Copies of this chain bind each other. A is one copy, B any other.
Amino acid sequence: MSEETYISDEMRAIVGKPFNEAVSFPVSRSDIRRWAIAVYYPEVPPRLYWDEDYAKASVYGGIVAPEDFNPFAWASASPGMTTRRAGFNADYLETTFGIQGPGLKTNLNAGSVTDYGSRMRPGDVISTSAHVLSYTEKSGRMGRMLITIIRTTWTNQSGEMVKQTNQTAIRY
């Protein structure tokens, strides 16, 4: 282990601990319809996402949300309405736990690995919980970089896994 590290003992201690726990408002048909319009823009989105009659006759038996639909956008039922954050804090994760972050300037979303389970549907109430899977360090073009992998799991009101994502953030 090198003497110089971004990974403090405090940071090691939060690995595996839940954060960002939230419960969505019920997914509305309008949320799904608008999501589909946005990601298919400028094309008309498939009827599966907005035409109940069409969707009923499909294998899904009704409207479903696109796989990547986010039911936590804008506000969640729990925690409730909050003020919008202005600006960006690269230490957001550590701040959430009330510990000191590495104080780096840049935070990049480097990618994600996702397994999908049940499709989201109108009326679904989705629960989420995240935890840090790992902190690692690596040397790159930008010098020493901190790599954080966060695992987020979404579950529907029947307890079925909706998706599980490992998201990689690179800070330097």
Residues of A within 8 A of B (CB): 25, 28-31, 33-34, 37, 41-45, 50, 74-75, 81-84, 86
A25 pairs with B34, CB closer than 8 A: no
- Looking across the interface, which residue of chain B has its beta carbon closest to that of A42? B84
Chain B residues near A86 (CB-CB < 8 A)? 42
Q: Whole-angstrom distance between the alpha carbons of A37 and B75 in the complex?
A: 9
Q: Whole-angstrom distance between the alpha carbons of A86 and B42 in the complex?
A: 9
Q: Whole-angstrom distance between the alpha carbons of A74 and B82 in the complex?
A: 25
Q: Whole-angstrom distance between the alpha carbons of A47 and B104 in the complex?
A: 37
B31 pairs with A25, CB closer than 8 A: no
Q: Whole-angstrom distance between the alpha carbons of A33 and B33 in the complex?
A: 16
Q: How far is the CB of A51 from chain B (nearest CB, A)?
A: 8
Choose from B28, B45, B81, B84 the contact partner of A81 (Cβ within 8 Å).
Answer: B45
Q: Whole-angstrom distance between the alpha carbons of A30 and B45 in the complex?
A: 20
A-B contact pairs, 8 of them (CB 8 A): A30-B30, A30-B74, A34-B74, A34-B75, A41-B84, A42-B83, A44-B81, A44-B83
Choose from B25, B42, B45 the contact partner of A33 (Cβ within 8 Å).
Answer: B25
Chain B residues near A84 (CB-CB < 8 A)? 37, 41-42
Which of A30, A44, A50, A74: most chain B Cβ within 10 A?
Answer: A30
Q: Whole-angstrom distance between the alpha carbons of A25 and B84 in the complex?
A: 28
Q: How far is the CB of A120 from chain B (nearest CB, A)?
A: 14
